[in-house]
Structure 1
Amino acid sequence: MYRIGELAQLCEVKTDTLRFYEKHGLLSPSSRTDSGYRIYTENDAERLRFILRAKAVGFTLAEITELLSIELDKSNWACADVKGLVDDKLANVEAKIAELNHFQLSLQRLSQACCGGPESAEHCSILEALESSTDNIRCENHSHTHDDEQFTKNCQNKAVSKNSKEK
């Protein structure tokens, strides 16, 4: 039998976490002492470990609630049901990764198009790209010190070409 602080320490979480899970119906003490202290059993500790492992792999509280309902009534569920939940979660994670990769590429392009120099931001390529309705990012007319040599050469060539036309 564990008091709330003991169970929290055993599972390396805060007592507030246990109260939060209790408030959301994921965990409840098996009993209370006459003075109102929460008492948890080893089964409660296992349930908490299940919750923490599910949380660690990215499941939301709602998804954990669903997994717990399956866990409590395994005979009325198929393994395919559980796999379906995991596959749905995996698809969501893959979509988020694709979105983050898109953000990364877009931010890299914005960063590489800008010299980052002390010049006025009146003609900042980043601001211009964000203001425009196109996906094209024009290079600034300043020297570049980026690792991407080809991109830098292209930017410098465009700048030289632009300067030649202006003269």
Structure 2
Amino acid sequence: MDEKMTIGRLAAAAGVNVETVRFYQRSGLIDEPMRPHDGYRTYGDGDIRRIRFIKRAQLLGFTLDEISSLLRLEGSLACNGTRELAIRKLAMVESKLTDLHAMKTALEGMVAQCDSEERSEGCPIIQALIDD
């Protein structure tokens, strides 16, 4: 049975804060339930699943616009569209990894120059940043 809960209980169950739930509502990622006569909107288990989906997708690097696209594809037979989004995201991650590896190599070189006995008077890291 789908338990009805307030926004505070929903947020706690989904592992986010209330403002995150409200932000997702304003962004159109989750629906804002109608306000009943007693004044308290209630949410169900489906809302928890949807918020957890959004958070997992964000951890994988998907933007809110991309997540919105994924949510529109949810439940459809559009696996190819979902796959294409994932392929584009994977290519972006691979590009970032290449950039991070280049940064790591450059920083390792700068640190090694600092540790070198043959350095000049100034800081080799500062000098490398000025020269490049």
Q: Same fold (TM over 0.5)?
A: yes
Q: Where in structure 2 are the equivalents of 1:50-129 lying within 5 Å?
A: 50-71=53-74, 74-75=76-77, 78-115=78-115, 122-129=121-128
Structure 2 counterpart of 1:30: 33
CA contact (8 A) 1:30 1:44 kept: no
Instruction: Pick which of 46-55 and 90-99 moved more.
Output: 46-55
- 2:42 partner SS: strand
Shift in alpha-carbon separation, 1:116–1:34, aligned structure 2, 3 A? farther
Question: Could you list the per-position Cα deviations for residues 5-56 of structure 1 after superposition, in whole angstroms to 9, with x for gaps in the alignment?
Answer: 1111111211111011111111123322325432212322222222122123
Q: Which one has more relative contact order, counting CA pairs under 8 Å at least 6 apart?
A: 2
CA contact (8 A) 2:14 2:49 kept: no
CA contact (8 A) 2:5 2:44 kept: yes
Query: What count of residue pairs does the alignment treat as equivalent?
Result: 127
State percent identity of aligned pairs. Answer: 39
| TM-score for the superposition, normalised by structure 2 | 0.83
Shift in alpha-carbon separation, 1:43–1:102, aligned structure 2, 3 A? same
- Calculate the aligned-residue CA RMSD, in Å: 2.2
- 1:58 partner SS: coil
Q: Radius of gyration: which is bigger? A: 1
Shift in alpha-carbon separation, 1:15–1:116, aligned structure 2, 3 A? farther
Return the alpha-carbon distance in structure 2 between the equivalents of residues 101 and 46 of structure 1.
36
Q: Which runs of 4+ in 1 moved over 3 A?
A: none
Matched to 1:27, the amino acid is: I
User: Which structure's residues are more often strand, by fraction?
Assistant: 1
- 1:38 partner SS: coil
- 1:114 partner SS: helix
| TM-score for the superposition, normalised by structure 1 | 0.67
Q: What runs of 5+ residues in structure 1 fail to find an aligned partner? A: 134-167
Question: Could you list the per-position Cα deviations for residues 92-144 of structure 1 after superposition, in whole angstroms to 9, with x for gaps in the alignment?
Answer: 11111111111011011011112489xxx8533222222224xxxxxxxxxxx
